[in-house]
Amino acid sequence: MKIAVIGGGLAGLSAAYDLAGAGHNVTIFEAAPYTGGLAAGFKSKRWDWHLEHYYHHWFETDYDILNLIDEIGERDKVFFPRPVTSIYVDGKVYPFDSPARMLLFPKLSLIPKLRFGFTGLYLRLTKNWQSLEKETAHNWLLRTMGKAAYKTLWEPLLVGKFGDYYKEVNMAWMWARLHKRSFKLGYFEGGFQAFADALTRKVQERGATICLNAEITNIAPQPNGGFRIQSTPGNGETAKKQTEIFDRVLVTVSPQLISRLVPSLPDDYLASLKELKSMGAIVIILALKRQLTKQHYWINLPKEEGFPFLALVEHTNYVDRRHYDNDHIVYCGDYLNPDHEYFNLTKEELLAQFLPTLTRFNPDFDESWVKESWLFKAKYAQPVPSINHSANIPPLETPIPGLYWASMSQVYPWDRGTNYAVEIGRRVARMLMQESR
């Protein structure tokens, strides 16, 4: 079959890898000048390695992406450091990434700690997420863990992650976050972009075509079968629109974008897409002259204490800074409603809000420490799963025969991430290959 894959992120690349390997004629259309999607990275001229726009690490249980890395012969480039993950409570940062550190955490008495521990153990062991999606995480955790532990540990995470929606998120989402996490965190030599580039090369070696700077404007089913796809060069180029016919189409973009690209989808299906809620992401990345914190890789922050972002991530407390010209790399990241004012602010305006906060982690911090800074925004980053969300997820095969859709909104109950982008991409590829038999 002649197959178009819309989107060169990890889902699209993984699907194309399998489809091209099975002998199909595959073309990937990617609007950006690079592959990788939300897992893509960038590089200062001074650095040897790329740095991620948004994603940061893998877990030891991320088998789908690790198996794919094995298949393409790149597993020797994966390594698993053991960084320090922490939480900020009452003006102080506490490491909180092992049973011993949790037991020694001074902000909870013994009984709340025990309730927290037994609740966490249950979520690690149970596989029955279907029953958990019938209740919100807010109510379930309050009831099982108790008010003290929930208010101190989990409510700040939910508020920071989902904003006004935090009391709507179902408990299966929290189960997924805890069920398969590991203390060791994985990384790829050269950054995730180096992995995306390696996978891109393998996809091309299998015969697939990759069109970068190619923005799709319309996908139209044809009366006699197949699809007419219109594309236009991105990045301000003025070449004419291109039109091509394909037998099958796999779209790997947000619900909002597929609605615009395929207006011929049935009205009820389009309405179901509009019901899928999601949060956007804002990330400011700093290259500092000095280390901000002595040991902390990831610090979850409570917004009720006045922080203008959700998490502070000191990447070079996890990956050796020699790969970044000895810069100290710090992320200031947040999940926000897509209409939040941050999406309209410039990098300088956001820096004015974010930088003063850094003295709370290091009183010696001064803006003169900043060597370079970058701003990245994505309005579709974190799906919001409500009660009984499994009933709301559109199937991978749309109502139009031959048109498939695979996105982060469909990896539920798992949380969005590179591992599940690979999983869903390969799953939809299997569906396409079964159809062709």
CA distances from 113 to 36, 67, 151, 302 (A): 40, 36, 13, 19
The pTM score is 0.93
pLDDT in tens, 162-181: 999 999 999 999 999 888 88
* pLDDT tens profile 370-384: 999 999 999 998 999
Q: Say if residue 8's pLDDT is above 90.
A: yes
Burial class (CB in 10 A: 0-12, 13-18, 19+), 69: buried
Question: Residue 436 pLDDT > 70, yes or no?
Answer: no
First-to-final CA distance of the chain? 11
The answer to whether 297 and 83 are in contact (CB under 8 A) is yes
Angle between helices 418-435 and 10-21 (to 10 degrees): 30
**Residue 238 pLDDT class (50, 70, 90 cuts):** very low
Domains of the chain: 2-57+191-276+394-435 (3.50.50.60), 98-179 (no CATH), 278-383 (3.90.660.20)
Express each pLDDT in 304-354 by its tens digit. 888 999 999 999 999 999 999 999 999 999 999 999 999 999 999 999 999
How many Å apart are CA 338 and CA 138, to the nearest integer? 23
Sign of the torsion formed by the C-alpha atoms of 176, 181, 186 and 187: positive
The residue ranges of DSSP E strands in 269-417, in sequence order, are 278-288, 296-300, 311-314, 328-336, 370-383, 403-405
Distances (CA, A) of 203 to 146, 197, 371: 50, 10, 37
Q: Is the separation of the CB atoms in 219 and 245 below 8 Å?
A: no
**433 has a pLDDT exceeding 80:** yes
Flag whether pLDDT at 239 surpasses 60. Answer: no
pLDDT greater than 70 at residue 195: yes
Q: How confident is the model at residue 133 (pLDDT cuts 50, 70, 90)?
A: very high
**pLDDT for residue 235:** 55
Q: Contact, 170 vs 412, CB < 8 A?
A: no
